[in-house]
Chains A and B, each alone.
Chain A
Amino acid sequence: MARVLVQEQDFDPGAEIARLVAGRTGVGGIGCFIGTVRDSAEGRRITALTLEHYPAMTDRALRAIAAEAERRWPLLGCTIIHRVGRLEPGANIVLVLAASAHRAAALEATGFLIDWLKTKAPFWKKESFAEGGEAWVAACDADEAAAARWSS
């Protein structure tokens, strides 16, 4: 059963890893991805990223992605925490953890989880620029391509 959280507050990766492996002595490897706010986008300085989501759908979408990872790899646990609201450069946005007996499953599942999350979970980012103004981030083809490589 995956641990899935959508929250405004920050998360503690160390505490989340400890929580994931607690009582699971069969774990031999943990994959971890942390997404953070960059201070620039296409040469423009960013002062903040504001994340909006579709609350009624988000939890369900994230659980479906986690369930798919658990179907594809022999996971002993996984965690997805996604922040929403206004975040400044350097802030954590998302944490993905996948634990398995061996590293290949843990690393592959981690890659899968973040790639699918980026194209299948209802979150939207808006950038605020240092010179003023804001803009919604457009979906990029590279993200679609990254998600597509897990199609089978």
Chain B
Amino acid sequence: MQERAEPPVTILYFAWLRERVGRAEEKLALPPGVSTVGGLIEHLVGLGDGRPAAFASRNVVRCAVNQDFAGLDSKVAPGDEVAFFPPVTGG
């Protein structure tokens, strides 16, 4: 029996995270065993390129899952949109 492929997770980067990663968006299959924002960050850092530098200062990286602010323990599922960005500075 063939397994149906799960939809990828869409990763978005904003502000200096976007600049350090070198792209605004990427899509990837959620690796087995990764189910939280924190786990996803570890996976992304392991992919290298600009990502380790982008996540070097974890305490100043904020996150949203499906357009809602989220924390390191927040759940991530296939098909989710996960955004990483610095603390907001609008207004």
Contact = CB atoms under 8 A, between A and B. Distances in A.
Contacts of B69: 120
Given A56-B67, A136-B15, A136-B16, A121 B83 contact: no
B88 to A, nearest CB: 6
A26 B69 CA distance: 36
A123 B64 contact: no
Interface residues of A, number: 28
Interface string B69-91: 10000000000010101111111
A14 to B, nearest CB: 21
Nearest to A123: B90
A117 B64 CA distance: 16
Nearest to A82: B90
A93 B91 contact: yes
A29 to B, nearest CB: 22
A52 B83 contact: no
A104 interface: no
B14 A114 contact: no
B18 to A, nearest CB: 8
Contacts of A82: 90-91
Q: Give the most central of A53, A57, A93, A117: most B CB within 10 Å.
A: A57
